[in-house]
Structure 1
């Protein structure tokens, strides 16, 4: 297994898609920073116009913590789509160039081979989210500095700078769980579909449907509590004024179980199907 992991890691380091993914993250961050720099104050003034008539605000609310929160919102669609495209290529590329068939002719157990790919996909996802958090922190604080955070979730919530930073860090950790889920799903889809373009379409469709189902209130309460689309936005719960840590931990644990289930399904199918 160690040799398989080393080989998969080497492939990931050498393929250009890895660096395109990191570059795409930087582009998203840069666009957010540019927009915030030139138009952020105007947007905040519109948002807080009524409150400013009743309250006095000291300091600026356009700060590094707000920028980090805005970047976090790219976890809804942009970042998972990029990650799903890159991680699915771990399998589809090898089907396309015939590497998969060549490897299977060797004394390699199929379940170990595909498990190594899942592990590398997860590590890559965590690396990207860590890179995203670190670069955003450096750029946002260097340009805008620290400060209190204002978030609109049904109502305006205000958090002091220290509390805001802690919440943002935990939100990135919770968001990483959601991104790992999406990447494992994309790798499983790649095992079923094999072709890159079709897998990308299926992954994008899965992402869109999951996002839409998040907004749907089902009649059965259990579905609203345990169905995986309802768990994707757990990171955002960290920005409600009153934190329900028990529910946040349960949601992330359930999402990890769904991740394992999709991974197990992909491993089983890969182990049973003919590689051709």
Structure 2
């Protein structure tokens, strides 16, 4: 298994689209920074003009913490789409090039082969989220500095600079769980569909439907905890004044459970396939 995982890592590292994905994530961050630099102050002044007459804000509200929160909002669509395209390609490229047949003609266990794909997909996803956190933090704080964070979630919530960064780190960690779910979904779709373009379309459709169902209220608390689209915004819980830790842990545990289930289904389906 270790040999297979390392081989997948090497293949992923040699693919140009891996670096295009990193470049795309970094470009999205840069566009956010540029927009905030030239227009952010004006927007904040309009939104908070009346509040500034009644409240004292430490430092400027247009600061690195606010920019990091904006970057986190890329977890809704942009980042998961990039992750799903790359992780599905770990398998679809093998189908396209015909190398999967060559590999499996050797003494390679099919379960270990597909298992290595899932492991590398998970590793790549965690790498992307870590890259986002480190690169965006370095740029945001160097350009905009630190300060209080103001977030509008049903009401305006204010957090001191130190507390804001702690919450942002927790939000990235929770967001990583959601991104892991998407990466597992993409590999499982690739097992069934096999063709790259069709898999990308299916992945994008899955992502769109998930975001649409996110606002659906099932009316039963426990149902909302097990309906996976309702779990994808768990990272937002860290930007309420009181963090509902029980919901955070339950939601992420359930989402990880779904990821394990989908991985098991994907491994089972791949082992049953006739790779001819």
* TM category, shorter: over 0.9
Which residue is equivalent to 1:263?
A: 263
Q: Measure the CA separation in 1 of the matches of 2:219 and 2:176.
A: 29
Q: Deviations over 1:198-222 (max 9, x none)?
A: 0000000000111111111124443
Which residue is equivalent to 1:54?
A: 54
- Written as runs of structure 1 = structure 2, the 5 A alignment for 1:11-26 is 11-26=11-26
- Written as runs of structure 1 = structure 2, the 5 A alignment for 1:29-40 is 29-40=29-40
Which residue is equivalent to 1:94?
A: 94
Is 1:114 equivalent to 2:91 in the alignment?
A: no
Q: Secondary structure at the match of 1:274?
A: coil
Q: Measure the CA separation in 1 of the matches of 2:234 and 2:29.
A: 22
Checking the alignment, whether the CA contact within 8 Å between 2:58 and 2:147 is kept in structure 1 is no
Checking the alignment, whether the CA contact within 8 Å between 2:225 and 2:250 is kept in structure 1 is no
Is 1:144 equivalent to 2:131 in the alignment?
A: no
Which residue is equivalent to 2:201?
A: 201
How far 1:50 moved relative to its partner?
Answer: 2.6
Q: Measure the CA separation in 1 of the matches of 2:223 and 2:188.
A: 23
Which residue is equivalent to 1:158?
A: 158
Q: Measure the CA separation in 1 of the matches of 2:106 and 2:43.
A: 60
How far 1:27 moved relative to its partner?
Answer: 0.3
Give me the CA root mean square deviation. Answer: 1.0
Q: Measure the CA separation in 2 of the matches of 1:269 and 1:57.
A: 56
Which residue is equivalent to 1:245?
A: 245
Which residue is equivalent to 2:168?
A: 168
Greater mean alpha carbon deviation, residues 95-104 or residues 57-66: 57-66
Which residue is equivalent to 1:70?
A: 70
- Written as runs of structure 1 = structure 2, the 5 A alignment for 1:203-242 is 203-242=203-242
Q: Measure the CA separation in 1 of the matches of 2:36 and 2:243.
A: 28
Q: Secondary structure at the match of 1:266?
A: helix
Is 1:135 equivalent to 2:149 in the alignment?
A: no
Q: Secondary structure at the match of 1:146?
A: coil
Checking the alignment, whether the CA contact within 8 Å between 2:118 and 2:263 is kept in structure 1 is yes
Inter-CA distance 58–171: structure 2 relative to 1 (3 Å threshold) = closer
Gaps of at least 5 residues in structure 2 are none
Is 1:186 equivalent to 2:186 in the alignment?
A: yes
TM-score by length of 1: 0.98
> When the two structures are aligned, how many residues end up with a matched partner?
276
Moved over 3 A (4+): 219-222
Q: Measure the CA separation in 1 of the matches of 2:90 and 2:219.
A: 39
TM-score by length of 2: 0.98
Q: Measure the CA separation in 1 of the matches of 2:162 and 2:59.
A: 15
